[in-house]
Chain A
Amino acid sequence: MDVLTRALKDGASPDPQSLLAAIPYCRHLGIRAELRESGLVLVMPFADHLVGNVFLPALHGGVIGSLLETAAVAQVIWELRGPRLPRPVDITIDYLRSGRAVTSYARARIAKQGRRVVNVHAEVWQDDEAKPVAALRGHMLLPAAD
């Protein structure tokens, strides 16, 4: 991806917002990135097409999973400045609360970085970061540099 190639050339971390804007599926979900003092936070405003249960209404579990997985991948790219997208090997998602029809946020952290495999944890929350809506643990394979 141009975003990653340019960043690698500059020796800088890739701009997370440019990265997400280059990914069509993230644009479909409306996910954008914010760099805060506390680190990288992904923001997903509510939209009608993200709903999984129209009666509550609640976000689709797969949308929440997608936000978690995107946060995990974005964190690995941003921290490790990889030349290519890391590839998810496995993920486990715990659904803790219903995802309401409001803006959702996600943050990830690298729990363990190996030479080829990274263990990542991520959480999604809405109004209160202390009350997560869902949590992810997963492994990502780092592609070998060309």
Chain B
Amino acid sequence: MLGLTPFMASIGAEILEMGAGAARARLPYGPKLVGDPDSGVVHGGAVTALLDQMGGAAVMAALDHPVPIVTLDLRIDYMKPATAGVDIMAEARCLKVTHEIAFVRGSAYQTDAADPVAICTATFMLMRGAQALRAPAKG
């Protein structure tokens, strides 16, 4: 699951680390991410997408054997406006995996991990009965 999904690739996200139930990525600032053309600030949806992806990556990194997962719900608190022109980092940690559910916390920040632009809580469902996940192409 190291490969990037087509959407993550399309916005230029890069997975930096993945292992031991945690994942970290960088979203380099770019013009297509802008949600407010006056300020140049990144659209909240891009942060949502990055946190969803890192949450899923953290769950995959917590599993001994990969199974398909789907997001059940995702809550995001936007702690402060992002600064235009600055990359966004996102990290997520899988706190608990049961037979069917995985619980995740994550955050997105720019220069200081202790001063996040957004934090998230997400729950994923493990599709253990589903067909084994085939390895996606590395992106």
Contacts and interface: CB of A to CB of B under 8 A. Distances in A.
A65 B74 contact: yes
Interface string A83-117: 00101111111110010000000000000000000
A106 to B, nearest CB: 12
Contact of B34 (A24, A88, A91, A92): A24
A89 B78 contact: yes
Contacts of B75: 90-93
Contacts of B56: 61
A66 B7 CA distance: 12
Given A24-B33, A28-B11, A50-B6, A88 B78 contact: yes
Nearest to B13: A62
Interface in B1-28: 5-11
Contacts of A87: 78, 81
A25 B34 contact: yes
Interface of B: 5-11, 31-38, 42-46, 48-53, 56, 68, 70-78, 81, 134, 136-137
A81 B11 CA distance: 30
Interface of A: 1, 22-29, 48-55, 60-63, 65-67, 69-70, 85, 87-95, 98
Nearest to A59: B7
From DSSP, what is the main secondary structure of chain A's interface residues?
Answer: mixed
A57 to B, nearest CB: 9
Nearest to B121: A92
B7 A23 contact: no
B138 to A, nearest CB: 12
B50 A23 contact: no
A49 B136 CA distance: 15
29 contacts: A1-B36, A22-B37, A23-B34, A23-B37, A25-B35, A25-B46, A26-B35, A28-B10, A28-B33, A29-B45, A49-B6, A52-B6, A60-B5, A60-B6, A60-B8, A60-B49, A61-B49, A62-B48, A62-B51, A63-B7, A65-B48, A65-B52, A66-B45, A69-B48, A88-B44, A91-B48, A92-B75, A95-B71, A95-B73
